Amino acid sequence: MGHIRLALFLKKPAHKISRKVALLLFYQDRLIVGYILEPDQDRCMFQLAGGEEKAVPREEFTRHWEIYQGYELERMAAHLENYHPLPVTLEVRRSLQITPVNSALRRKRRSA
């Protein structure tokens, strides 16, 4: 199977923390599907590349990913000597966005 890359982005510390986890599936380095998890708001969004977002349960994403992994294991068992994994990679991006609670402070903040 492809490799897993982890990217962690942090912004300047303040008061309010917004956490997002994006699970992105790529085929030959092209984004084909993305799932955005927002644990603070207990929701999960599904988005095809260039499409609109739709709310989906987290279990549905994990079920789809497990089905894909099972498919790859079946292919590997059937083609032991000539097996090459499909060029699908999973990228996990964790984004912690920390912003001031007070909107007036948010406006005064200057970019680097």
Per-residue pLDDT tens over the stretch 20-73:
677 676 766 666 667 676 666 666 666 666 666 667 776 776 787 788 788 888
State how far the Cα of 46 lies from the Cα of 37, in Å rounded to an integer: 9
What residues form DSSP beta bridges with 25?
33, 90
Mean pLDDT of all residues in 90-96: 64
Please give the residue that has the higher pLDDT: either 29 or 2: 29
User: Residue 96: inside a domain, yes or no?
Assistant: yes
- Structural domain boundaries enclosing 30: 8-108
State how far the Cα of 108 lies from the Cα of 36, in Å rounded to an integer: 30
User: Residue 89: inside a domain, yes or no?
Assistant: yes
User: Residue 1: inside a domain, yes or no?
Assistant: no
Percent of the chain, pLDDT > 70?
26
* Residue 108 pLDDT: 59
User: Residue 76: inside a domain, yes or no?
Assistant: yes
User: Residue 3: inside a domain, yes or no?
Assistant: no
State how far the Cα of 41 lies from the Cα of 52, in Å rounded to an integer: 19
If one counts the domains in the chain, the total is: 1
User: Residue 2: inside a domain, yes or no?
Assistant: no
User: Residue 79: inside a domain, yes or no?
Assistant: yes
